[in-house]
Amino acid sequence: MKVLVVGGGGREHALCWKLKRSASVAEVICAPGNPGIAQDARCVAVAADDLDGLVTLAEAEQPDLVVVGPEVPLVAGLGNRLRERGFAVFGPNREAAQLEGSKSFSKRLMHQAGVPTARFEVHVDPDEAEKTIRSWGAPIVVKASGLAAGKGVIVAQSEQEAVAAARDMLAGNSFGDAGSQVIIEECLVGEEASCLFLVSGDTILPLASSQDHKALRDGDQGPNTGGMGAYSPAPCVTDAVAEQVLETIAKPIIAALNKKGAEFIGTLYAGVMLTEDGPKTLEFNVRFGDPECQPLMCRLQSDLGEVLLAAAEKRLDEVELAWHDGTALCVVVSSEGYPNHFEKGQVIGGIDAVEAAGTTVFHAGTALKDGQLVNSGGRVLGVTAVAESASAAQKQVYQALEKLDWPGGFYRRDIGYRAVGREEGA
C-alpha cells in the first residue's frame, strides 16, 4: 500500500523508517519531511499545519493510509477533513484531539471519568492564579492550557517562581494563545513513565513501556524541554503497573471520550507519575511521543503498516504486537541554547560515522543548505541503538556520538540512568 505521513520531525522519521521496512508498504510519502526522512520516503514540501495543502496532496496521491504525526494538525481537524473525503486515517478527529489541545478540557474530563491525576484549578486571571499558588504553597506546577511544543510546563520550587510563571503566561503572553488559560496543579512525587496505547473505538492495545527525559541537563536538572532522550522498556512499569494504567487511566478516558461522541482512532499517550498512591496522570497526548517513538519503532517487530491500517479501519482487535526483547535507547542532540535562543544553519558532519557505529540516526530539526546538512531547529537528531540491556544500549549510543562532528550540538550524557542503575543494582 501507499502511506502518507504528515510531519517533519524525529517522530515522523521513525515512523517513515519503520513503514519503509514494512512488507505491507510499497511507498512512503512524507509532508513536509526533512533530509533524513528523504532517505526513507518521498518528501513533498507541504507544511504539517497547511490543512488545505495536505488535503489537496492526499487527493492527488490517493494514499491507502494517512498517518498524522504531530498534534497541531490533529487539533486543527485534519483527521476530520480527510475522513470526510473517504481516506483511512491514523490520528484522532478534532473533538478527541482536544485531550491534548486543551489541558483544561483534559483535566476536567479526567475528573469526570475518575482518572487519577493531581489536584488542579484552571485560571484565566493572574490574581486568582496567585491566590491559589499562595494557598497551596510550593513546589507547585504551572501549565499553559494550550499547545506549547512540550515546553509549557513549569515545575516551580517556590511560590514566587510559580506566580511569575502564571503571570508570564496569562499577562506576559509568553506562550501566546496557549497560555490564555493556565492550570495550577499540585506537584506529584515519584518516577515518571510514558504509557502509550493504540486505540480504535473500544479497542485499546498497549505499546511497550518507555521513559522520557524532559529536563535539559544531566540528573534531570534545568528547564523542561520537548524531550532530551528516551528508552524502552521502562523497568519501573512492571506488568502490574501496566495493567493498573490500562484499567484506571486509559480505559476510563477513552470511555469518557466515546460518551461525548468523540471516537478516538490513533495513539493515546499517557504521561504518568508512579506515586506511593499508584499511577497518576500528568498529561495526555494524542500522538506518538517524541522521542519515545524512536526507541519504540526500533523495538517493534510487527509490520507497522498493517498495524496502523487495522486501527484506521477499526480492526485493531485482530492485532498482536511483537517486540525485540532488549532495550532501545535514544539520545537527542539539540542546538546549544535550546529550549531558548539558539543559532541555526550550523553544519553537521559525521552522521555516517555515527550510524556505522551501530546506531540509527533520526532527523528532527535538520535542513540542507548549499548541499550541506545544517541544524534548523532546537532538537536536531535522535541517535538510537538497540542492545540486550539498557547499559549496553547506552554505551553504544554514547560511543557512536563521539564521532559526531558538530561543535554546536548539545546532549545529555546520562540518558537511561535509571534503567542502568537498576541493572547494576541487580
pLDDT tens digits for range 314-371: 999 999 999 999 999 999 999 999 999 999 999 999 999 999 999 999 999 999 999 9
Give the bridge partners for 60, in sequence order. Answer: none
> Are 207 and 176 in a shared domain?
no
310 and 409 in a common domain: no
In-domain check, residue 346: yes
Whether residue 166 is contained in a domain is answered as: yes
Task: Indicate whether 163 and 270 sit together in one domain.
Answer: no
Rounded-to-integer distance, Cα 390 and Cα 327, Å:
5
Contact of 281 with 110, CB cutoff 8 Å: yes
Q: Do residues 358 and 378 share a domain?
A: yes
Q: In this model, does residue 105 exceed pLDDT 70?
A: yes
Structural domain harbouring 198: 189-318
Alpha-carbon distance of 204 to 266, in angstroms, equals 10
* Position 107 in a domain: no
Encode pLDDT of 368-426 as tens digits.
999 999 999 999 999 999 999 999 999 999 999 999 999 999 999 999 999 999 998 87
Strand-pairing partners, residue 42, are: 29
Q: What does pTM read for this prediction?
A: 0.94
Q: Summarize the confidence of residues 241-247 as an average pLDDT.
A: 98
Contacts from 51-58 at CB under 8 Å and sequence distance 24+? 51/76, 51/77, 51/78, 51/81, 54/6, 54/78, 54/82, 55/81, 55/82, 55/85, 57/4, 57/29, 57/31, 58/4, 58/82, 58/85, 58/87
Same domain flag for 304 and 416: no
pLDDT in tens, 165-174: 999 888 866 6
Task: Examine the domain organization and report whether 193 and 295 are in the same domain.
Answer: yes
Do 67 and 19 fall within a single domain? yes
In a domain, 100, yes or no: no
Average pLDDT over residues 104-128: 93
Residue 120 lies in a domain: no
